[in-house]
Structures are given as structure tokens and as C-alpha cells.
Chain A
Amino acid sequence: AQTVTQSQPEMSVQEAETVTLSCTYDTSESDYYLFWYKQPPSRQMILVIRQEAYKQQNATENRFSVNFQKAAKSFSLKISDSQLGDAAMYFCAYRRVNTGTASKLTFGTGTRLQVTL
């Protein structure tokens, strides 16, 4: 079974600074997807960034980038130029490649990010 671990329950960053959220996972699969989702307080979860395991290049979406280390099974999220609107719970998630019925997301326990002035 696949597992996702987020070892940082809470993180804090000052506005305009950079913060890195950690995630490790365990799987025996060679091909899969990894995701970071953001869940603002009392609002629905939205996808921040996605990484395909077969791609060596790290994904980037504007101020958000990942450091994907496949051998180490590590998938960290870097947020640059942090903004107050980045404050939220961040979940790391894993999904097998869409073969057959494999479709569910496996989530970590989340990291609560606070952004201070």
C-alpha cells in the first residue's frame, strides 16, 4: 500500500520570504503522479502543482515549485515570495498512473502554513 508522510504539522513564513514544505512517500510502483493541494480555511481544496514520476524535470507553477527526488521518494514544495493568501493547509498526495481502476488519491496529514507580516 502507498503511504504519504508530511512531518511538519505547522510552518510559518514571513510575507515575501520563501518556505519549503516536506513530503515523503512510499510505493513499489515506478510510474505515478504526485500532487500538492491547498485547502484554505473553510474553503475547498484546490490543486497547486502536479509532478509526473517519469519526468526528471521539477514542475513549476508561478511562485510554486517542487523538488522531486525519485530515488529518495521525496517531494517538497517551495513557495517563493509568500503572500498572505498562501496561508492554508497544504496536502501532499499520491496517485497511481491511471491504469485500470487505479484513480484514488492518497493524502498525507497536511502542513498548516501561516504567513506573517
Chain B
Amino acid sequence: DTGVSQDPRHKITKRGQNVTFRCDPISEHNRLYWYRQTLGQGPEFLTYFQNEAQLEKSRLLSDRFSAERPKGSFSTLEIQRTEQGDSAMYLCASSLLGSYNEQFFGPGTRLTVL
């Protein structure tokens, strides 16, 4: 078990470009979460999956954002037509459905939009 991994760790892009991030959860975990963390703030929930089903989306997740989790394994988060306000750390977490449902976090992808 190598924990939650995210790729890339850093991404610099120009405004208007599309970007895609990948998250690989802990292998037996059936829940996967995406959070966004801006400088000086705590993480904010974006969306989460149980297996391949996307069960909840935050109002923060505008139409330019889309997330998938095909086959209930890894997940991708795509941002279309990036804006400078999208600059943030994007965190992925996974958990095993159960009474505590402890979420294990990945190292994050830091996005900088120029």
C-alpha cells in the first residue's frame, strides 16, 4: 500500500488552457474525494465518488470542472478554460466505506494559472 498518489504534483498553465489531474486512491478504497485548497485557507470540498458513481458535487464545481472515476479506480479532474482564480492546491482523498470512513489524503496537485 503506497497511499494516495496524485499526478502531476505541479502544473503551470496559461489562462484559457485545459488541464487534467489524476488521483490514484488506496487500492481497496471505494470512496474518493476531491478538495481545493487556496493559500491560507482550509480545503474545500468539490466532489466525491462511491465506486464509479459521483454522489455529491459542491456549488464550487462550476461547469468548467468535470470529474470522472471510470471503473471505480483512479479519478481525473479536468478544468476547462482555466482562469487565474483556479490557482490552488487540488487535493484527493480516499476512504473505505465504514463507520469512521477515515479519509487519507494525497500530496496534492498545485495549479498555477498565469
Contacts and interface: CB of A to CB of B under 8 A. Distances in A.
B45 A47 contact: no
Contacts of A108: 42
Main secondary structure of the interface of B (DSSP, over half): loop
Contact of B56 (A50, A103, A106, A109): A103
Interface size class of B (residues with CB under 8 A): 20 to 34
A56 interface: no
A101 B53 CA distance: 11
Given A43-B107, A98-B101, A103-B101, 12 more contacts: A44-B108, A47-B104, A50-B100, A98-B97, A98-B98, A103-B56, A105-B35, A105-B103, A107-B44, A109-B41, A109-B42, A110-B40
Interface size class of A (residues with CB under 8 A): 20 to 34
B50 to A, nearest CB: 8
Interface of B: 3-4, 31, 33, 35, 40-45, 48, 50, 55-56, 58, 91, 95, 97-108
A107 to B, nearest CB: 3
A64 interface: no
21 contacts: A43-B107, A45-B105, A46-B105, A47-B103, A47-B104, A50-B102, A91-B43, A98-B98, A98-B101, A103-B31, A103-B48, A103-B56, A103-B95, A104-B33, A104-B48, A105-B35, A106-B45, A109-B40, A109-B42, A110-B40, A110-B42
Interface of A: 4, 33, 37, 43-47, 50, 91, 93, 95, 98, 101, 103-110
Nearest to A110: B42
Contacts of A46: 105
A12 to B, nearest CB: 18
